[in-house]
Amino acid sequence: MKSTITILALLFCSLFLLPKEVFSQAQEDEEFRRVSISLQAGLTMGYERDVNRLIGSNYNTFTQQTYNFGGGIQYAITPLWTVEFGYRYNTIEALADDGFETVVHSPVFKNIFNLNRIYRRSSLSDWINPYLILGYEHDFYTAEDEDARTVGNESALLGGFGLALSLSNTFDVFAQYEAKLASNRMDNINTGFPADQVGMSSAGIRINFGRSSTKPLKQSPPIRNITDKEYEELMSRVNEAALASERAAMQEEKIDELQNQLSELDAKFEEHIRQSERFNELLIDRIDSLEYRVNNIEMRIDSLESEREKDLRSEVPAGHYVQVFASVDYNSANNVREIFLELLGDEFDYTEEMVFVIKRQQFYEVLIGTFHRISDAQDVQSIAADRLPDSFVITFPRPLHLEEAYEGTEIIHN
């Protein structure tokens, strides 16, 4: 018991006193971070039925699942190989309520082999690192049951595997499985195979110490030894690179020459733009001139339309007429006149004279006439009603109370 306390005291002193000097030196002198500490906790697998297991625990008697925790100091010797010295606390308990309970304190030495070196040329290796564990534990244990209490210490071989995820250059998280061949007496029954198998799973956090600009050594760039032939090939490529550099210098001179030519072209292009702008101004003036001419043409068209309207009848002989259409738009009225010229072409000898448009105030009215008998007008109105149902018979002169509405329409009395 005294030796157990001594070893634990030395272990804790190592965890809390040693890093102060080692870590500071690692921060100042190392190109990569080599020193780290880790804390972990997890489960110790039980042996609940009489079946040998490759992964798990095998004892001389049935046990239940318990817990373990620990920590350690790591030092990276090479990117592939890291060593760790640490401590683990563990318990083993019988499955039956009246069985034994063993408390184990273990100094631990581990060799950790970083498998991310296998694919180091991939960026994935910077944050995912599978690893293997091979090491040694020395177990200081106390086993108790209702009848006896056993104290002892035994050596154990340790092996396992794990996966670490890098959160930053400073912090890693990891999960791992470890199995050790431990003392056959830790379950308080010294029978059977000369060693008991203890399976342990755990997870934890690792803190890497070093300058803020440095990475852990396991993330260092891959290094490859080359042969003489590869060296000669490398030097040949270096010479090719030198020639390429000379050619690049020549290309730079050519680029400068082309740049000067481009400047000259830019000047010519700017002059061309100025000429184009002057030409554009001339086009704008031409467009303004054309717009003026178009406006004059429109005015002339309006004048022609006015002249055309002057040809409208402003006087009608006294008699009866059929009014078929009225509109404020001359073109609409004239289109209706054309329709009735075709419709009544076989009815009259002088259809062009019989169908006409008069202007009354703002209205253009289409009339058919003159009829001296109202019955003749009614016959034509019945024909017109098939095409325009609202046609009607109108008689000139108009009654006295409508004379003002027809002011400007002269009535001719035969």
When pLDDT is cut at 50, 70 and 90, the band that residue 29 belongs to is: low
**What is the sign, positive or negative, of the torsion defined by CA atoms of 289, 292, 294, 297?**
negative
Contact 151, 1 (CB under 8 A): yes
Tell me which residue of 33, 127, 103 sits closest to 74, measured CA to CA.
33
Tell me which residue of 217, 241, 224 sits closest to 82, measured CA to CA.
217
CA distance 334 to 323: 13
Res 305 pLDDT > 70: no
pLDDT value at position 108? 97
Name the least confident of 133-142, 292-301, 330-339: 292-301
98 vs 393 pLDDT, higher one: 393
Please, what is the angle between helix 374-387 and helix 330-343, to 10°?
A: 110
Mean pLDDT of 356-361: 85
Percent with pLDDT over 90 in the chain = 31
CA distance 367 to 365: 6
Contact 351, 318 (CB under 8 A): no
220 vs 165 pLDDT, higher one: 165
Please, what is the angle between helix 330-343 and helix 228-310, to 10°?
A: 70
Res 100 pLDDT > 50: yes
Per-residue DSSP letter, 224:
-
pLDDT value at position 74? 96
Q: Which tokens hold the place of 149?
A: 């209490």
Res 20 pLDDT > 60: no
Res 34 pLDDT > 60: yes
For domain 315-412, the CATH class is alpha beta
Res 2 pLDDT > 60: no
Name the least confident of 40-44, 237-241, 343-347, 400-404: 400-404
Tell me which residue of 180, 212, 220, 217 sits closest to 196, measured CA to CA.
180
When pLDDT is cut at 50, 70 and 90, the band that residue 24 belongs to is: very low
Which of helix, strand or coil describes residue 180? strand
pLDDT value at position 5? 44
Res 113 pLDDT > 90: yes
The model's pLDDT over 203-212, given as tens digits with 9 standing for 90+, comes to 999 999 998 8
pLDDT value at position 303? 61
Domain spans of the chain? 2-219, 255-311, 315-412
Tell me which residue of 126, 23, 147, 133 sits closest to 82, measured CA to CA.
133
CATH T-level assignment (fold) for domain 2-219: Porin (2.40.160)
pLDDT value at position 408? 60
CA distance 304 to 332: 17
Contact 75, 91 (CB under 8 A): no
Ramachandran bin of 66, using left for φ above 0, alpha for ψ from -120 to 50, beta for the remaining angles = beta
- Evaluate if pTM is beyond 0.75: no
Q: For residue 248, give the amino acid letter.
A: A
CA distance 273 to 262: 16
Mean pLDDT of 160-180: 96
Residues listed for the chain? 414
pLDDT value at position 1? 42
The model's pLDDT over 256-290, given as tens digits with 9 standing for 90+, comes to 889 898 888 888 888 888 888 888 888 888 888 88
Q: Average per-residue pLDDT in the chain?
A: 83
Mean pLDDT of 368-393: 88
3-state helix, strand and coil shares in percent for the chain, rounded to the nearest 5: 40, 35, 25
Helix (H) or strand (E) holding 261: helix 228-310
When pLDDT is cut at 50, 70 and 90, the band that residue 370 belongs to is: confident
Which of helix, strand or coil describes residue 318? coil
When pLDDT is cut at 50, 70 and 90, the band that residue 25 belongs to is: very low
263 vs 193 pLDDT, higher one: 263
**What CA dihedral angle connects 27, 28, 33 and 38, to 10 degrees?**
-30
Tell me which residue of 42, 4, 46 sits closest to 197, measured CA to CA.
46
